[in-house]
Structures are given as structure tokens and as C-alpha cells.
Amino acid sequence: MTDSDDQPERKRGTGSRLVYDTLREEILSLVLQPGEPIDEIGLADRLSMSRTPIREALVRLAADGLVTLLPNRSTVVSQIDFPNLHRFFDAMTLMYRVTTRLAAEFHDAEDLVEIRARQDAFARVVVAGDTAGMIQLNRDFHVAVAEAGRNPYYLQLFSRLLDEGRRILRLYYYPTFEPRLPHPYIQEHEAMIAAIAERDVDTCDRLAKDHADKIVQQIQQMMARDLRQDIKL
């Protein structure tokens, strides 16, 4: 058996989506590292399809900013844009605030159920000490809040920022994580849910800002520590 995958009879039209989802997950989880080239032919071979749907997926990933298409040269996983990191934090903070505010204004009962479910899932992985899951489910929680806010434009930008944040957090947060309960983020999420349910826009804004500031501060501390270590060596 030279071929590990036998063809599972994919349906017509699902090829590009499969490649897109696979690559996206591998990029965001740093299985594919920034700068790493992506081999079209290898992928075609691995997923047993032609290059056409793969190139289509790469074009979509490029639109998301996850890969960079170098003309007539290889496609590479996009670098994390460190010189622009403070701009990233700025946009992230604004989106935290805006989406949480809008959630307080426009949510309905079903939204609260969904948000609550995400928060419970988040709490579970925190208890389990599953850091990768924590990053993922924190993202899901805030996406659920943003969806309750009903603004697709903010949702799109916020999703993109949260994805980019997944890569950054993986780099700086994961190696230094030590589980402790009750985790402050869980409590902050709980406070947000309460404020959203009470439709208290101002409190939502304040909580979101504090939450964002804390995350940014934490990442910056870790980055600084990281840099010092580099100098020490």
C-alpha cells in the first residue's frame, strides 16, 4: 500500500473547499510555519486531485491574507507582520468594543444560548489545560458575540483579526502557559455575557476594552521577555 488515502468519492465542487479548510487550519495552527513554501503538486498528490481546485483555494487564502502569491514563483505562508503589530492591537481592541456593544443592542434569546454554549466549551478546555483548544474556543466565543451584533462588516474584519491572533498567540502564549483556576478570562467573559443580557452598552464597551487591553498587555510582556532571552543568549 503506497497510497495512504484511498479516494473517498468526493462530491463535485467540494475539492476547493477541502483544500481551503485544510490549509487554513494548518496555517493558523502553525503546522505550516510563516514563510514556508506551499507545494501545489505535493498537495494535489496528497489530496488526490488536480492542481486546479488547489490553486483556487490558494487564491482564496491569499484574499484572506494567509498566504502570499509570488508571481511565477512559489506560494508561501504569509509572514506575521510584526512591524504592524501595534496596528493589529489597535484594530483588535476597536473590534472587541464595537462587536460587544452591538451584541448588547441587537442580540436575541437564541444568541445568548449560543454565546453561553461557546463560553461553556471555553471553560471546559481551560479546565482541561488544553491551550490550543483555549485559543480556538476563545475565538469562537467572540465570534458568537459578534454574530449577535448582526454587523457582517465588523464580523468579517474581526474574524480575520482573531485568526491572525491565533497565530500570534500560538507563538507567544502557548510555551509559557500554566493553567490556573478560576481563570480571569472566564470571569471576564461571564461579566460580558451578563452585560449583554442586560443590554448595558456602556458596561459592554468598558469590559471589552479592559479585556482587549489585558490580552494585548500580556502578549507584549511575553514578547518583551522573549526578546530579552534572545539578547541573553
Partner DNA sequence: TGCATTTTATTTGTCGACAAGATTCTCTAG
Partner DNA sequence: CTAGAGAATCTTGTCGACAAATAAAATGCA
Among 23, 49, 66, 222, binds DNA (CB under 7 A): 49
Residue among 134 and 168 whose Cβ is closer to a second copy: 168
Among 23, 24, 28, 53, binds DNA (CB under 7 A): 53
User: In whole angstroms, what is the distance from residue 114 CA to residue 129 CA?
Assistant: 23
Only one of the segments 22-30, 48-56, 116-124, 133-141 lies at the binding site for a second copy (rule: CB under 8 A); that segment is 48-56
Question: Which residue in 225, 181, 171, 140 sits closest to 27, CA to CA?
Answer: 171
Residue among 50 and 176 whose Cβ is closer to DNA: 50
Question: Taking each helix axis from N to C terminus, what angle separates 131-149 and 85-106, rounded to the nearest 10 degrees?
Answer: 50
Q: Is 56 in the site for a second copy (CB under 8 A)?
A: yes
Q: Is 183 in the site for a second copy (CB under 8 A)?
A: no
- Report residue 155 CA to chain centroid gap: 13
Q: Is 154 in the site for a second copy (CB under 8 A)?
A: yes
Cell of 6: 484511498
User: In whole angstroms, what is the distance from residue 149 CA to residue 106 CA?
Assistant: 6
Question: Which of DNA, a second copy, none is residue 233 near (CB under 5 to 8 Å by kind)?
Answer: none
Among 10, 60, 170, 209, binds a second copy (CB under 8 A): 60
Residue among 88 and 122 whose Cβ is closer to a second copy: 88
Q: Is 130 in the site for DNA (CB under 7 A)?
A: no
Q: Can you tell me whether residue 37 is helix, strand or coil?
A: strand
Show the DSSP H helices in the chain as ranges: 15-28, 40-46, 51-63, 85-106, 109-128, 131-149, 152-172, 184-197, 201-232
Interface contacts to DNA, rule CB under 7 A:
10-16, 37-41, 48-53, 55-56, 69, 71-75
